[in-house]
Amino acid sequence: MGLIIDQMRSRTIVGWCIALFLILFAVTVSAEEPLEAAVKRLSAVGTFAFGGVGYAGATSKGEIDFKLVLSQREPAALAAFEKIYATGNPQGKSYALSGIRKLKPLRFRELLASGAGSRDEVNVMRGCIVSHELLPEVAQQIDHGKFRF
């Protein structure tokens, strides 16, 4: 009888250890997923907007994702913004430039100079108004602090 109880205790302890390991592994994996998902969404975001937009004055989904990326440790955030700038659409590039300007102003200056001749159009939303502006113009506005985050 004592042997059976010992075996049951051993199995219970092993079971709890496995459960604890799985929980810790799941927390580690889920901590990385939101950043990857935000990078993916920002790379394809439909509008570039900071502040209240639309009739309700809500925060745009792009700004929410931007803030999630910006809240990461600097090396991770900077790498994410560089990836968005390299692979994203013009709106995504605009968010990336905003983040890079905040985290690494010298790198922002390099990108500003290299993209000066771009003809890419950015869908920009200010309040309820949507406009189409050239990426270099939006980059200049970012540089002059026209977009607050």
Q: Can you tell me the distance from the alpha carbon of 38 to that of 61, in angstroms, rounded to the nearest whole number?
A: 10
Average pLDDT of the residues in 51-57: 93
**Nearest to residue 111, comparing CAs of 148, 86, 77?**
86
Cα–Cα distance list, 80 to 6, 17, 97, 111 (Å): 51, 35, 11, 15
Query: Would you state the structure tokens that stand for residue 63, as one six-digit string?
Result: 């700004």
In this prediction, residue 23 carries a pLDDT of 58
Residue pair 102/114 in contact by the 8 Å Cβ criterion? no
Residue pLDDT, tens place only, 94-127: 999 999 999 999 999 999 999 999 999 999 999 9
Residue pLDDT, tens place only, 12-31: 554 554 555 555 555 444 55
**pTM of the complete model:** 0.78
Q: Where are the domains of the chain?
A: 2-143
Query: Would you state the structure tokens that stand for residue 149, as one six-digit string?
Result: 């985050």
Q: How confident is the model at residue 149 (pLDDT cuts 50, 70, 90)?
A: confident
Residue pair 123/130 in contact by the 8 Å Cβ criterion? yes
